[in-house]
Structures are given as structure tokens and as C-alpha cells.
Amino acid sequence: MKPGQPSCQNCLRRSRSVFSACNIAELDDVSVTKSCRVYKKGEPIFEEEDAPHGIFCIFSGMVKVTKLGASGKEHIVRIAGSGDVLGYRALLGNGRYKSSAVTIEESRVCLIPRETFFRLLKENIKFHDGIMKIVCAMMEQAETKSTEIAYKPVRSRIAEALIMLDRVFEERGAITLTREDLASFVGTVKETAIRVISDFKEEQLIEVDKRSIRVLNPDGLMRISNLYD
């Protein structure tokens, strides 16, 4: 393990990550070959059309995965946190990144080189299976998302996003996304997001303190999310 780098063996989120499929020797392999660094808030980890050199694993912090949409608007595809991996698709699909990853808070992120990744993939069936399951889950998520953007009104989409983000930000105790990021996560503009959020506050569904949103009534939000089904 290189100096100043967190070891995979001691990674708090390991049990909940794909690397839970790896044995000690394999984790050692990863620890020795990876290189980690701290990204400041707002710093890009990789960008659309870059060529991949490995997969990234988030040790701590929060990252938004984005795609550039029409008229330069960025669409947030998903929010990734500690224990999540990024950039596997470009490697597996043998192409370039088709999205960018940018930290939304200071984050410590490890880069596991492609050779190590493919070695694990080949030698550890459970790891391979785990990656496959992630890709399938993401595919499903993306399809669901486009269906929802197409046919659910903004109010419902924001209600749903808040429920989902509440889980992602669980350990933070509150959702701390800018209104703009929240908007681009559900496919709308910040002004609209602001209005809906302030409605939800009125309706006591959430509690807002500056930048942070706390969900008070998930069932109520869930109902709104499905109101127009």
C-alpha cells in the first residue's frame, strides 16, 4: 500500500460494496495497485469522452454522475457515495466515458487500474457477478428514470427523488444538494425545483434548513410520487 492511502481491508464501506466478494489476497492486490487522492468540492474525476484507465471507488464523499444535455444543461444521472464504484461501463463496454463524474463535496477517491479490475473480473466469479448485477441495476434505473421524466409531473418526480436521496444521504442526516443539482437530477430547472420544495415545506412533508433538506413524511411523499400513476 502506498503511503497516505486508505487500505481496502479497512474500508468502512467494503461490506456494502462489490469488493465484499474479494478475499484478503485480492484486496491486497487492489490496495497495492490502486492510487487514491482527495478531490476538492466541484472537482471532476473524469469527463465525458475521456478514455478510461481504471475504475474509481469512492472512499468518502459524494459524487454526481452527469451527462451534458441540450443547450448545455447538465443532467445528473445519479448520485454516488462512499463504497460506490464509477467508470466500469467504459471499461466493460470497451469505449469512452459517456458521462462525467464531479464531486459535490470533498471526496477521497481511489483509482483501481484496468489490469487489476480485469484480473479480479476474470479470477473471481462472485466479483464478476457483482459487477454484472450493478450494470443491470443501473440499466433498469436509467430506463425507469426516462419513463418517469416522460410521464410524471415535476412535483411527483421531486417527491420520489427526495425519498431516494434520503437513503443516499442517510449518514449525513439530511440531503445537502444545491437546488440546481436537485433540479438537474429530476430534469427540471432550479426555479421550478425551489417552488416545489417550498410547497413540500408548507405541507410539512420536509424540513428545510438552509441548504439541507430532511424528509419528515416519506409516505406522504411516496403518495405524491404515485399520485398520477
- Whether the Cβ atoms of residue 46 and residue 100 lie closer than 8 Å to each other: yes
Q: Please report how the helices 24-33 and 114-123 are oriented relative to each other, as an axis angle in degrees rounded to 10.
A: 170
User: Is 223 one of the binding residues for a second copy (CB under 8 A)?
Assistant: no
- Whether the Cβ atoms of residue 172 and residue 215 lie closer than 8 Å to each other: no
Residue 154 contact partner, candidates DNA, a second copy, none, CB within 5 to 8 A by sort of partner? DNA
Q: Tell me the backbone φ, ψ of residue 205, rounded to 5 degrees.
A: -85, -30
Measured CA to CA, the distance from residue 56 to residue 36 in angstroms comes to 9
Site string for a second copy, 48-67 (x = CB under 8 A): -------------------x
- The distance of closest approach from Cβ of residue 190 to DNA in the complex, given in angstroms and rounded to an integer, is 5
CA nearest to 35, candidates 148, 153, 115, 130: 115
Of the residues 1, 21, 38, 92, which one makes contact with a second copy according to CB under 8 A: 92
Of the residues 14, 114, 190, 214, which one makes contact with DNA according to CB under 7 A: 190
Residue 25 contact partner, candidates a second copy, DNA, none, CB within 5 to 8 A by sort of partner? none
Measured CA to CA, the distance from residue 73 to residue 158 in angstroms comes to 18
- Whether the Cβ atoms of residue 187 and residue 196 lie closer than 8 Å to each other: no
Rounded to the nearest 10°, the torsion over CA 179, 182, 77, 9 is 90
User: Is 126 one of the binding residues for a second copy (CB under 8 A)?
Assistant: no
Of the residues 12, 125, 189, 227, which one makes contact with DNA according to CB under 7 A: 189
User: Is 20 one of the binding residues for a second copy (CB under 8 A)?
Assistant: no
User: Is 152 one of the binding residues for a second copy (CB under 8 A)?
Assistant: yes
Taking the least distance from each CB to DNA, the nearer of 14 and 195 is 195
- The distance of closest approach from Cβ of residue 195 to DNA in the complex, given in angstroms and rounded to an integer, is 6
The residue ranges that bind DNA (CB under 7 A) are: 71, 153-155, 178-180, 187-192, 194-195, 197-198, 208, 210-211
